[in-house]
Structure 1
Amino acid sequence: MRHTAVMAGTGAIGLLAVFAVDLLNLLYISLLGDRALTAAIGFTGAVGMLQLSVSIGMSIGLGACVSRLIGADRRDEARRVASSALVGMAIVMLAIGLAAVALRRPILHGLGATDGSAEAAAAFVSVVSPFLPLIGLGMAFSALLRAVGDARRSMTVTLWGALITALLDPALILGLHLGLQGAAISTVISRGAVALLGFLSVRRHDLLQRPEPRCLLPDARRIGTIAMPAILTNLATPVGGAYTTHAMAHFGLPAVAGLATIDRIVPVAFAFIFALTGSVGPIMSQNLGAGLLGRVRDTLRASLLLVLGCVLVMWAVLAVAQNGLVLLFSAHGATASLLRLFCSATVASFLWVGALFVANAAFNNLGHPLLSTLFNWGRATLGTIPFVTLGMRWGPAGVLVGQAAGGVVFGTFAVITAFIVTARLRAGEDGAGIATSPDVPASSAKAAMAELSEIDGSDRET
Structure 2
Amino acid sequence: MKGEGERMASPARHTSLLDGKVSRLIMRLAIPSIIGLSLNALQQFVNAIFVGTLSVQAIAAVSITLPIVLLLTSVGQGIGVGTASFVSRNLGAGNSAEASRGASSALAVAAPIGVAITVALLFRLRDVLALLGASRTIMPAALEYASTLLLGYTLMLLNMVNGSIVRAEGNTRFSMWTMIAAFTLNALLDPILIFLLDLEVRGAALATLLSQIAATSLYAVYFVKQRGIVRVRPSYITLRGDRVKQITAVGAPATITGMLSAVAFVLLYRAAAPFGDDSIAAVGIASRLLTIGALPIMGLCIGSQAILGFSWGAQDFARAQKAAKFMLSVAFAFSATFSAVVVIFARPIVRLLSDSEDVAEIAVSTCIVFHLFFGLFGVQYGVITMLQSFGRAGLSAVVSFARQGYLFVPAILLLPDIWGFKGLLISQAAAELLAGLLAVFVMLRQFRDLKGRLLSRPMSGER
Q: Shared topology, TM-score over 0.5?
A: yes
Residues 29-73 of structure 1: CA deviation (Å, up to 9, x unaligned) = 1211x2111111121112111121111122222223333344445
Deviations 1:249-304 (Å, cap 9, x if unpaired)?
A: 12111111011112222344454213223333344455567775543443222111
- Residue type of the alignment partner of 2:152: F
Q: Which residue of 2 aligns with 1:13?
A: 35
Counterpart of 2:210 (choices 183, 189, 192) is: 189
Q: How does 1:72-151 map to 2 (within 5 A)?
A: 72-151=93-172
Determine the structure 2 residue equivalent to 1:311: 335
Q: Which moved more, 1:275-284 or 1:419-428?
A: 419-428
The 1:311/1:229 distance shift into structure 2, 3 A limit, reads closer
Distance 1:177 1:88, change over 3 A: same
> How do residues 25-424 of structure 1 correspond to structure 2 at under 5 angstroms?
25-32=47-54, 34-200=55-221, 203-210=226-233, 211-285=235-309, 287=311, 294-328=318-352, 329-333=354-358, 335-343=360-368, 345-368=369-392, 372-392=396-416, 393-414=418-439, 417=442
- The separation in 2 between residues aligned to 1:68 and 1:418, in whole angstroms, is 28
For residues 256 and 210 of structure 2, what CA distance do their matches in structure 1 show?
Answer: 29
Q: 1:220 to 1:308 in 2, by over 3 A?
A: same
SS in 1 for 2:337: helix
> Deviation of residue 157 (structure 1)?
1.8
Amino acid at match of 1:233: T
Q: 1:313 to 1:60 in 2, by over 3 A?
A: same
More deviation, 301-310/202-211: 202-211
Count the aligned residue pairs. 433
What are the Cα deviations for residues 168-216 of structure 1, in whole angstroms up to 9, with x where unaligned?
1110011111111111111111122223334555753312342534444
CA distance in 2 between counterparts of 1:267 and 1:101 reads 25
**What letter corresponds to residue 404 of structure 1 in structure 2?**
A
Mark the runs of 5 or more structure 2 residues left unpaired by the alignment.
1-22, 455-459
Structure 1 residues 130 and 403 mapped into 2: Cα distance closer, same or farther (>3 Å)? same
Task: Describe the superposition over 1:229-268 as per-residue Cα deviations: whole angstroms up to 9, x where unpaired.
Answer: 3322321111111111110112111111011112222344
Tell me the TM-score normalised to structure 2 length: 0.82
Q: Which residue of 2 aligns with 1:444?
A: none
Alignment check: 8 A CA contact 1:55 1:136 kept: yes
Output the aligned Cα RMSD: 3.2
Deviation per CA, 1:324-358: give whole Å up to 9, x if none: 22433224335423324424x53142233333333
Which range moves more in the overlay, 76-85 or 6-15?
6-15
Identity in percent:
26
Residues 205/403 of structure 1: CA separation in 2 closer, same or farther (3 Å cut): same
Tell me how far 1:374 sits from its aligned partner.
4.8
Q: Structure 2 counterpart of 1:394, which letter?
A: W
Q: Distance in 2 between matches of 1:194 and 1:369?
A: 35
Maintained 8 Å contact 1:68/1:289: no
CA contact (8 A) 1:89 1:137 kept: yes
Cα deviation code 1:90-141 (max 9, x no counterpart): 2222211211111111111111112131122122222222332211121112
Contact 1:128 1:188 (8 Å CA) reproduced: yes
Q: Cα gap change, 1:391/1:342 in structure 2, threshold over 3 Å: closer, same or farther?
A: farther
Letter in 2 for 1:22: Q
User: What amino acid does structure 1 have at the position aligned with 2:424?
Assistant: V
Would the aligned equivalents of 2:272 and 2:280 in 1 still touch at CA under 8 Å? yes
Amino acid in structure 2 at the alignment position of 1:4: I
The one-letter code matched in structure 2 to 1:61 is G
Q: In 2 relative to 1, CA 175–63 (structure 1 residues): closer, same or farther, beyond 3 Å?
A: same
TM-score, scaled relative to structure 1: 0.83
Distance 1:281 1:66, change over 3 A: farther
